[in-house]
Amino acid sequence: MSRTFILAVLVPLALALSIGSCVLSTSPVDSPPRHDTPGLHTDPDWTFPLQSEPATPLPDFRPVIARAMPSVVSVTTERILSSLFGPRTEYGAGSGIIIDDRGYIVTNNHVLEGAQTIFVETNDGQVFQADIVGSDPLSDLAVIRVDAEDLPYAQWGDSSSLDLGEWVIAIGNALGEGLSVSEGIVSRLDVSVNVEGNVLYGLIQTTAAIVPGNSGGPLVNMAGEVIGITSIKIVARGVEGMGFAISSDEARIIIPDLIRYGHVTYPWLGVGLYSVDPALAAAMGLAVDRGAIIVELVPNSPADIAGLREDDVIVGFGGYEISSVGDLVKAIRRSSIGEDTEVVFVRGEDTRTTSARLVERPTP
C-alpha cells in the first residue's frame, strides 16, 4: 500500500473519530448565539468615502509603439540539411532593427548561424533578401543588409541612463508569427550571463515577455528609443520574467566595426580571470575584496610582458575602477590595440601600477 493511499485513508478516519467524540460528549452545550435583528446596524445613507487623489494611470504605450515599430523587421532564415530521404529545408525565425536608411539591419549572431538564405520582412509588408555584412559570436551581434533605401530607422537611446523599474517594451517576431509587442520593466542592470561557455556582459534584465523569435529585436524606452537588443531568456521550471537584452551602449561599440570591417577586432590582455568578492577574499587571504584576480597568464602576452603574475588582483585599468571581471572586460574593449594602458593591481599587501600594450585578440 503506497504512502499516499495510507494518508488518504487515515485522514477521513481521524475526522470520523473526532466527530464521534463530539457526539458522545456529555458536557453541557451552550445554546447557539442569537443573531441580531436584521437591519439593526444598517445605514441607509452610507456611501463610499471620497478619494483624496485620483489613481495614477498606467503609461500610454501606443505612441511609443507607433514610433518604434516601423524600424523593426522579421527575419527568416533557411538552411538545407541532408537526410536519409534527401535534402530538406530548415527554417528559423528572428528579428532585426533597421539602423539607417541604407538598408543596414542589426540582429543577433545566433539568429544567422548556419543560414544559407536570409529574408527580411518590414512592418509594412515588404520582403527583401538580405546578405550578411558581419557577425561577432562574442557579443552575439550581427549586421545584415537589404537592397533598399529610405527605410525608417530606429532612434538609438542611452542605456546608461536606465533605472530599475523603468518601463520598457520588447518588439519582435515572436514564434515567427509576425511582429508583436510586450511590456515590462527593467529588473536588473549590468548583468553577466554565461551562454554555452561565452559570457555576455553588460546585459539588461527585463520582465517584458521574451519568446523564441524575439531575438535581435529592440527593447525600447518610453521615448521609443532602442536601449537594448533582445538576446536570450533563461528557460527553467519555476523561472518567469528573466529575459535579457544587449545594452545599446555595448552594441554601439560593436556595430561600426561589423559594418566597416565585417568582424570585430578586440584588444587582448592575455589573462584568465575571476571576480573577487568578500567571500573569495576571506578564503584566499586577499588584501582587497573587489577586483579581478588573475588565475591564468598566457606566456608572452601583454600581461606577461607588463610583469603581471597569477594571483595579482587588478583594481584599475585605463582609468576605470575595476570591481569584477565584467568591469575589466568592458574596460579592455574600450581600449585600443597598440595603446599603452595603465594597470593598477594588488600583489600581497602592496598596490602597484604597470603599463600594458594591448594587442589584437588571437583567433580562437
Measured CA to CA, the distance from residue 234 to residue 287 in angstroms comes to 36
Taking alpha carbons only, the member of 177, 203, 89, 100 closest to residue 144 is 100
Catalytic annotation, residues: 110, 140, 215
Measured CA to CA, the distance from residue 314 to residue 294 in angstroms comes to 8
Taking alpha carbons only, the member of 220, 255, 74, 71 closest to residue 150 is 71
CB contact set of 166 (below 8 Å; sequence gap of 6+): 185, 186, 221, 222
In 10 A of CB 70, how many CB atoms?
16
How many helices, marked H, and strands, marked E, lie in the chain?
7, 20
CA atoms 54, 56, 58, 63: torsion sign: positive
Taking alpha carbons only, the member of 157, 146, 154 closest to residue 171 is 154
Torsion of CA 187, 192, 197, 198, to 10 degrees: 110
At 325, is the secondary structure helix, strand, or coil?
A: helix
CB contact set of 202 (below 8 Å; sequence gap of 6+): 190, 191, 192, 246, 247, 249, 250, 326, 330
Measured CA to CA, the distance from residue 121 to residue 94 in angstroms comes to 11
CA atoms 202, 205, 208, 211: torsion sign: positive
Query: If you count them, how many residues does the chain have?
Result: 364
Greatest alpha-carbon span in the chain? 97
Within 13 Å of residue 170, how many CA atoms lie on the same side as its CB? Answer: 34
